[in-house]
């Protein structure tokens, strides 16, 4: 990874060049032009911000941001004793904080991220600390944020940075070489931590620019996104690139929202073509931009989830909730949805299935994957249907049928009667990793929201049954 900084993006170079061509005599007093609308049938490639627009937008946004920015922990780290003389370690610490926060903020609300960020930075305050962590520790800290691939990439990227000298690359182009850092994250780190004049583009930035220039092109298309990056590159302030980029995102998150923009408080309302158009045409709305794109229809999947509990004792050790139980967990494949996470045994179903069909599929799976033999009724203490839960992923609605299967400790397995802590079993040319954990360990593991919900449903089911029995 190279440390050579690139202080000017191609978009900025183009803007400077074009601006010189448009330079006029300062003594000429011409009225300030109104914001231009996106012409019907026009192409986004034809658009750029005028020199006077750029200056006004930069000035207005930065003044607004200085007064109205939210107090967030990752911003505090980057504002601590900020000077041009920060040493490399301090700059790397700030870059690391930006990196962690930006990865956490992807598809997650700011208020949710704050507590996760604080706990993360307390446990792993630098990239060197994170590089020493295990994926299990990282998943445990990440549990509940979703999109666990992000956490894995953070760990892999940290190891890569440390292995290559322990210093963050100083430019966006070199940051892109780090595992898990894409164009947006590279721009955020480079502009905020290293003061490189590069843009960042997320959903908020797309919305703000689409309204400033009344861009009606499909905001999901690659060509549109590429040109939004070009326009963002023209706007970014070379003296305060990190603050400017955060200001645009802050504007989109707080005022220029998707459905109810607060145009009366917007610092760049006089430069907004969408607002101007709405004033001249009653049928036009600011919220018409960016163009609404039909969401991909979610696929409906079905899964039979069985919480297998094995009693080491049929009498509670201390109280009624402590039976000395162990629970069977299986590790998901290292690639794909929820890669590498632990979960309760589950079987994918092609269609909605009845209880008998589901249990047959589960029994076959428990036998083939974990060596559990359920042919002796005496091995089964109880087997109850707990309920259903629909877990929402980005493009999937997963309906989980949840049951609780309680077995005696002497249940027969392919490994005899002894339940070891960690086991591996070859299956379909692959390796299935599974283990038995007690209640205390289960409570501290980094389980996905869906798995945790299934376990909580079982706990509630037991409580309800106990209260009925005690009446």
The residues assigned a catalytic role are: 102
What's the distance, Cα to Cα, between the start and end of the chain in Å?
69
Asked whether the beta carbons of 271 and 53 are under 8 A apart, the reply is yes
| Cα separation, 127 vs 157, whole angstroms | 9
Token pair for 267: 């610092």
H helix or E strand, kind and range, residue 43: none
The answer to whether 447 touches 420, Cβ cutoff 8 Å, is no
Distance CA 154, CA 162 (A): 12
Nearest to 205 by CA among 242, 252, 246: 252
Which residue from 340, 346, 326 is spatially nearest to 453, judged by alpha carbons? 346
- Exposure string over 436-461, b if 16+ CB within 10 A, otherwise e: bbebeebeebbbbebbbbbbebbeeb
Q: What values do phi and psi take at 369, rounded to 5?
A: -95, -35
Tell me how crowded residue 87 is: count the other CB atoms within 10 A of its CB. Answer: 8
- How large is the angle between the packed helices 203-212 and 222-235, nearest 10 degrees? 80
Task: Give, in order, the Cα–Cα distances in Å from 381 to each of 46, 308, 408.
Answer: 72, 11, 6
Residues in a beta bridge with 300: 397
Angstrom distance (rounded) from CA 354 to CA 263: 54
């Amino acid at each position: 990874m190279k440390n050579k900084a690139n202080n000017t993006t191609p978009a900025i170079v183009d803007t400077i060049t074009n601006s010189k061509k448009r330079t006029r005599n300062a003594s000429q007093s011409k009225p300030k032009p109104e914001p231009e609308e996106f012409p019907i049938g026009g192409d986004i490639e034809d658009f750029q911000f005028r020199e006077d627009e750029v200056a006004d937008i930069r000035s207005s946004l930065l003044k607004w941001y200085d007064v109205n920015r939210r107090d967030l922990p990752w911003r505090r780290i980057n504002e601590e004793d900020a000077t041009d003389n920060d040493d490399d370690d301090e700059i790397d610490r700030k870059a690391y904080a930006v990196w962690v926060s930006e990865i956490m903020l992807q598809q997650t609300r700011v208020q949710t991220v704050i507590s996760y960020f604080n706990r993360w930075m307390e446990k792993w305050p630098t990239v060197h600390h994170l590089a020493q962590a295990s994926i299990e520790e990282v998943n445990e800290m990440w549990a509940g944020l979703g999109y666990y691939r992000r956490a894995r990439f953070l760990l892999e990227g940290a190891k890569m940075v440390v292995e290559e000298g322990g210093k963050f690359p100083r430019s966006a182009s070199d940051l892109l070489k780090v595992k898990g850092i894409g164009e947006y994250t590279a721009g955020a780190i480079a502009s905020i931590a290293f003061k490189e004049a590069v843009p960042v583009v997320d959903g908020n930035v797309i919305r703000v620019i689409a309204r400033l220039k009344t861009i009606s092109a499909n905001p999901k298309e690659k060509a549109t996104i590429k040109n939004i990056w070009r326009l963002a590159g023209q706007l970014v302030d070379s003296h305060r690139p990190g603050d400017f980029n955060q200001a645009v995102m802050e504007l989109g998150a707080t005022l220029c929202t998707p459905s109810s923009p607060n145009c009366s408080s917007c610092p760049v309302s006089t430069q907004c073509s969408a607002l101007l158009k709405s004033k001249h045409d009653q049928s036009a709305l600011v919220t018409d931009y960016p163009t609404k794109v039909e969401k991909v229809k979610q696929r409906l999947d079905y899964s039979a989830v069985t919480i297998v509990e094995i009693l080491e004792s049929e009498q509670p050790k201390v109280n009624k909730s402590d039976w000395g139980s162990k629970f069977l967990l299986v590790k998901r494949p290292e690639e794909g949805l929820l890669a590498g996470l632990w979960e309760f045994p589950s079987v994918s179903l092609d269609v909605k299935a009845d209880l008998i069909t589901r249990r047959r599929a589960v029994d076959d799976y428990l036998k083939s994957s974990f060596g559990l033999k359920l042919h002796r009724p005496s091995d089964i203490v109880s087997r109850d249907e707990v309920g259903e839960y629909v877990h929402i992923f980005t493009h999937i609605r997963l309906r989980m049928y949840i049951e609780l299967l309680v077995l005696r400790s002497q249940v027969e397995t392919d490994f005899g009667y002894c339940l070891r802590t960690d086991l591996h079993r070859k299956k379909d040319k692959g390796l299935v990793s599974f283990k038995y954990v007690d209640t205390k360990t289960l409570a501290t593991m980094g389980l996905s929201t869906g798995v945790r919900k299934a376990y909580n449903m079982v706990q509630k089911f037991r409580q309800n049954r106990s209260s009925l029995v005690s009446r």
